[in-house]
Amino acid sequence: MAARAGVGRGTVSRVINGSPRVSEETRAAVEAAVAELGYVPNRAARALAANRTDAIALVVPEPEARFFAEPYFSDIVRGVGAALADTEMQLLLTLVGGDRERRRLAQYLASHRVDGVLLVSVHADDPLPELLEQLGIPVVISGRRSEDEPLASVDSDNFEGARAAVAHLVAGGRRTIATITGPLDVYGARRRLDGYRAALADAGLDELAAHADFTEEGGRRAMAELLARAPGLDAVFAASDVMASGARQVLRDHGRRIPEDTALIGFDDSSIARHMDPPLTSVRQPIEEMGRAMAELLLAEISAATPTRPSLVLPTELVVRASS
């Protein structure tokens, strides 16, 4: 092709890769040769030459059962996919449910087979973020690990979402308001608990909390515990729709009408919330938008000469339905 265009191979490469350092006359000659020869760029060779793999990994450090049970993860994947649709990036989905999978992933990442990593559902003691930093791999995490998260991150306003949910219950005349928390080694779960506490403090009400793990079974266990401790409770704020679903089953088993006897609110505004009976009031976090934003930030980090590590917090919205 270089001979056909009458230029060197380096010039051909610059034209194909869109370099501005080529005259219009030369660019036209190369493009004419491309058209005549029917040339199709070899993505693998181009990536190798640029020290790139044209692949990113979406890493979820959770067991397979939780990944497929919670709509949160599928919405994140949908948002990531939308952001990558018009790029040449391939997406590798990896579930890390235990130490064996973590070691295997560490070996894979150490061989630099991906250009960057999207890390979803990070627990406070997870070693993966530090490993990625040591390897120098660009990373964006979903949900900060602390207020001072050093890595690029996308989060929702968990505190304000929870505070608004509990304030809604207070405004409805509820006075014994319980919460079912997520695992408190997850920063987002702690912030939802903080928002619950802030709303109760504003109303002069006492805290009533049971800790769970974002699963339906965890919601059932926590709800049974709360009823044993406070049979007169009249409202429950669950830190996820999945846990609210479990709590609803226990309330029904105890003859509690929703919302007449006990109001119920979840968090996520997933499909679960819309299909419950009665439909569940829930805090909407823009999960698909979070996935899209994560992918866009990661693409920017991969292209940047030096890491910028931005932090993005998206607003939440209380969606009121019949359960409250």
Model pLDDT, residue 279: 97
Model pLDDT, residue 71: 82
Model pLDDT, residue 295: 95
Model pLDDT, residue 14: 57
Reported as a pLDDT band with limits 50, 70 and 90, residue 133 is confident
The pLDDT of 215-229, averaged and rounded, is 97
Residues near 141 by beta carbon (within 8 Å), at least 6 away in sequence:
118, 119, 120, 122, 129, 149, 151, 152, 153, 154
Model pLDDT, residue 49: 45
Model pLDDT, residue 15: 52
Residue that wins the pLDDT comparison between 187 and 127: 187
Question: Tens digits of per-residue pLDDT, 292-306?
Answer: 999 999 999 998 878
Residue that wins the pLDDT comparison between 16 and 262: 262
pLDDT at 284 over 70: yes
248 vs 129: CA distance, rounded Å: 36
184 vs 199: CA distance, rounded Å: 19
- In this prediction the pTM is 0.78
pLDDT at 63 over 90: no
Strands 152-156 and 311-314: parallel
Model pLDDT, residue 45: 45
pLDDT at 47 over 60: no
Strands 281-284 and 317-319: antiparallel
Model pLDDT, residue 130: 84
pLDDT at 8 over 60: no
Model pLDDT, residue 56: 93
Tell me which residue has tokens 């304000």.
160
Model pLDDT, residue 37: 56
Model pLDDT, residue 6: 54
pLDDT at 42 over 60: no
Residue that wins the pLDDT comparison between 249 and 34: 249
Q: Which two tokens stand for residue 142?
A: 């979903």
Residue 177 sits at the vertex; the CA angle it makes with 188 and 73, to the nearest 5 degrees, is 30
Give the torsion sign (CA, 52, 53, 55, 58): negative
Residue that wins the pLDDT comparison between 108 and 22: 108
